Amino acid sequence: MHLSSLFASFIVLGSLVAAHSGGHAELVNRAQHEARALQARKCAPAIAEFERVRRERRELRMGKRQEPSTTATAPNPHYSTIQNSTCVTAPEVIEGPYYIGNEYIRYDLRETQPGVTLVLDLGVIDTTTCEPFVNAFVELWSANATGQYGGYEGGDIKKDTFLRGGHFTNDQGIIELTTIYPGFYRGRTAHIHTMIHKDSERQANGTIISSSGTLTHIGQFFFDEPWNDAVYATNPYTTNTQERTLNSEDMWIEMAGDGAFVNLENLGSSLEEGLLGYITVAVDGNATYTYENQNTL
């Protein structure tokens, strides 16, 4: 059972799924998972100190209500340090069929997609050092409010880029990305895919070279069901005609354990003003994973 409290956060361990073939995950064995859990637990004191400072700043109410950035400059993260770990869990989750490489480097992924704004405040910890993972490229991709992925509409590969892309963590290992709360689609509960890359090359046109550097993590983020219910009761999520799958029915959550739940709160006084989500992702900064899907922008 996922425990949610105001400051509780959950560490997401590095991907347990190193590679998959034919669309099926090959889960790395239990022993390897437990080794990772131990590795992350070792970092608990360091993470607790990050959280202490972060909480102090939060109590000063710094930044919480700042508007999501629509510019190319880095938004100030709502939380200035990486948060505590209250739980170390079994993760991780497959790439899935909807990755597209070489996406744009940007802080705001929304483009014109309607839906509840979601500002994700992500902290990344390198479990090999227990230090913030600085200059990691955090990439996200997710379905829109009616459960469709940019670039994969109607079965054709298109050049749409909505709700895709990412940016680099700052010197505190933190990044703030703005997207929308993802819609559900057949067989899957609400989730956001992520990859965390090290030493990624930037191209002159503002895109990343996905195959450059090292891929250190492949994962998915989830949300507590009451938040899904609340968001899915609003427009345009209500127009989603696909069959809904609950967290309790999602096979990837089951495999991931409790690890990848985002802590959410309202950015303003109501859901319509958007949500602030925060999560700490603990990755083995020296891990190397490969992604399967070779589609590129």
Binding site for ligand NAG (CB under 6 A): 7-8, 44, 48, 51, 84, 86, 113-114, 128, 144-146, 148, 153, 203, 205, 207, 236, 285-286, 297
Residue 226's φ and ψ, nearest 5 degrees, are: -60, -35
Q: Which is closer to ligand NAG, CB of 25 or CB of 43?
A: 43
Which of 112/248 has CB closer to ligand NAG?
Answer: 112
Nearer to ligand NAG, 75 or 169 (CB): 169
Smallest distance, ligand NAG to C-beta of residue 292, A: 20
Shortest spacing between CB 78 and ligand NAG, in angstroms: 17
Q: Smallest gap, in angstroms, from Cβ of residue 172 to ligand NAG?
A: 17
Cβ proximity to ligand NAG: between 25 and 58 the closer is 58
Q: How far is the CB of 255 from ligand NAG (least distance, A)?
A: 25
Pairing status of strand 192-198 against strand 137-141 = antiparallel
What single-letter amino acid sits at 7?
F
Contact of 180 with 228, CB cutoff 8 Å: no
- Here the contacts of 147-153 (C-beta below 8 Å, separation 24 or greater) are 147/183, 147/184, 147/185, 147/186, 147/240, 147/242, 148/183, 148/185, 149/98, 150/111, 151/98, 151/100, 151/295, 151/297, 152/97, 152/98
Residue nearest to ligand NAG (CB): 48
Residue nearer to ligand NAG on the CB measure, 26 or 243: 243
CB of 238 to ligand NAG, least distance (A): 10
Task: Give the nearest distance from C-beta 89 to ligand NAG in angstroms.
Answer: 14
Nearer to ligand NAG, 7 or 265 (CB): 7
